[in-house]
Amino acid sequence: MSTTETPIRTFIAIELTPDLERAIRDLQAQLQGRLPFPSMRWVQPHGIHLTLKFLGDIPPSRLPTIQDALAAVAARHAPFALAAEGLGVFPSPSRPNVLWVGLAGDLPRLHRLRDDVEAAIAPLGYPTESRPFHPHLTLARIKDAAPTDAQQVRDQLRQSPAADLGALPVTAIHLMRSDLSPQGARYTPLGIYPLGTKGQLAE
């Protein structure tokens, strides 16, 4: 990497539709009233993505190679459909650190798409993720939850186990830039690759 290059924080994701983003905003508003403790850090709906691969800080000179790899992946996959439904936590209900909405629908095709992304990116110096892929949409992060707070989260999961938020059509892969600031992260597309085509660079 050139000493003059400023690294870009990047990840590969599937973007939400405006309808799904609004449904998530409404769900978060409901949950905030039921889980009103300070350990909850709610994710802004416009910042929620279905992440396929986090690349971290990369030199801008590497972008064309990554973009070419994603265009080739997109050309090999046809669009398919998912649905956002169900609440859950990571790593476990007894120790909730992340509150999420799950995904249903054509999950085998999602896993094949994600595996193809991993296989295309790994030779470029971005090792394949060793942890199992659990597709989800993060609603909130929970930091140092008190036992009573964790119990409220578990109670909420039992009371609302299957929030059905609507469809998530998977029609493109997005290469995203993430710029962090005290006001939160700002996301900018670096490339959009419609499935079944060669894709295009973002303007």
Give the residues across from 186 on adjacent strands: 179
Q: Is 49 a known active-site residue?
A: yes
Catalytic residue, candidates 49, 77, 111, 134: 49
Is-contact 36 153, C-beta < 8 A? no
Cis peptide before 91 (omega within 30 of 0): yes
Residue 198 DSSP label = -
Report the alpha-carbon distance of residue 18 to residue 30 in Å, rounded.
Answer: 19
Q: Is 174 a known active-site residue?
A: no
Catalytic residue, candidates 111, 134, 136, 174: 136
Is-contact 79 168, C-beta < 8 A? no
Residues labelled catalytic: 49, 136
